[in-house]
């Protein structure tokens, strides 16, 4: 029997009111024209209906790490987020941070270096200083207290 030959209706009750719903409105057409077969591979990038055209911080970000960074003074929490942003972009926990990215957040090179000192003292990063070059930063995993 063709989907179009059926006439189905149902009654839906909500908040003491009854509504007659025409189920034919929810039936797909019989022709395969409007059906998209995505196959086992899924949709190609070109077929997706939306693209992310904004920047974001790729997670997961260790919440305990961020809490400890936020406990430090100054703009250290913001610098911590910048480090995680760069780590997500580079898919590595060992990164270099350009002054341009710092400037986008209103952070000077000197303020960033002060924040690196505080993050290193808190055991959140390891910094490799290089004369005349920006430092290499390694984001360290936070040791968990027992029970977490």
The predicted-structure confidence for 30-68, as pLDDT tens digits, reads as follows 655 555 555 555 555 555 556 667 888 888 889 999 999
76 closest CA partner among 139, 119, 121: 119
Asked if 132 and 79 sit in the same domain, the reply is yes
Does the residue 71 lie in any domain?
Answer: yes
Does the residue 67 lie in any domain?
Answer: yes
Q: What domain range includes position 37? A: 3-47
Asked if 38 and 77 sit in the same domain, the reply is no
Total domains present in the chain: 2
Does the residue 26 lie in any domain?
Answer: yes
pLDDT digits (tens, 9 = 90+) for 97-133: 999 999 999 999 999 999 999 999 999 999 999 999 9
Under a CB-based contact definition with an 8 Å cutoff, are residues 74 and 117 in contact?
Answer: no
The CB-side HSE value for 76 (13 A sphere, CA atoms) comes to 21
Asked if 19 and 79 sit in the same domain, the reply is no
pTM above 0.85, yes or no: no
């Amino acid at each position: 029997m063709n989907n179009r030959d059926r006439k189905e209706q149902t009654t839906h009750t909500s908040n003491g009111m009854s509504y007659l719903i025409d189920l034919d409105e929810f039936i797909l057409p019989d022709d395969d024209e409007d059906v998209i077969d995505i196959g086992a591979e899924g949709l190609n990038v070109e077929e997706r209906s939306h693209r992310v055209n904004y920047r974001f911080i790729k997670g997961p970000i260790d919440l305990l790490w961020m809490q400890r960074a936020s406990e430090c003074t100054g703009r250290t929490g913001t610098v911590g987020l910048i480090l995680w942003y760069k780590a997500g972009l580079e898919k590595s926990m060992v990164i270099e941070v350009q002054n341009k990215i710092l400037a986008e957040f209103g952070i000077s090179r000197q303020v960033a270096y002060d924040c690196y000192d505080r993050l290193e003292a808190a055991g959140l990063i390891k910094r490799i200083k290089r004369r005349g070059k920006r430092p290499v930063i390694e984001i360290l995993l936070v040791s968990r207290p027992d029970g977490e």
